[in-house]
Amino acid sequence: MGDPKKSRKSWERPGHPWIKERLIREMELVGKYGLRNKKELWKAQTLLREFRRRAKALLSLPPELRAVREKELVSKLYRLGLLNSENAAVEDILALDVESVLERRLQTIVFKKGLASSIHHARQLITHGHIAIGVRRVTSPGYLVSRDEENLIVPVSSIKQGIVRVR
């Protein structure tokens, strides 16, 4: 085990640092999703890599155990909004890409809902505490929004004025 207070790396950098096509692709994604730096992209890639690793490990399990674990993994990814149906298969998990993870970030969803005029404006609103999920302020633009929370994203000013009713 380890010390619970000891922080661990939540990302891995790419194996080879100077592949031109990868560098160009990373810069496109950083610009498209308004990421602060490539480390935020690498966090999303590492998260996706872990889900894909778990899906590949399911393929080697006995059928009865595989069905149970596959259902658990699929339901988790469905709740996160990464999969479109609860009846998805392992092949659907392996077909996920990093953009599907980046689409679930709070920053992207705030921009897509029209609460911000640009992706960079969305980041600023979130970090300054102007966006809430339900009645709770979230100040992390990289927060992964689940399906349940997606409809609860509102500006803090509308909660203070009592315009929005929260469950």
Q: Residues 73-119: pLDDT tens digits?
A: 999 999 999 999 999 999 999 999 999 999 999 999 999 999 999 99
Q: Give me the domains of the chain, ranges plus CATH numbers.
A: 20-102 (no CATH), 106-160 (3.10.290.10)
Convert the pLDDT of each residue in 43-53 to its tens digit. Answer: 999 999 999 99
User: What is the pLDDT, as a whole number, of residue 148?
Assistant: 96
Arithmetic mean of pLDDT over the chain = 94
**Contact indicator for 115, 152 with CB cutoff of 8 Å:** no
Convert the pLDDT of each residue in 18-55 to its tens digit. Answer: 999 999 999 999 999 999 999 999 999 999 999 999 99
User: What is the pLDDT, as a whole number, of residue 163?
Assistant: 66
The 10 Å Cβ neighbour count of residue 148 is 12
Report the predicted TM-score, pTM, of the whole model to 2 decimal places: 0.91
Sheet holding 131-133, edge to edge: 136-137, 131-133, 153-155
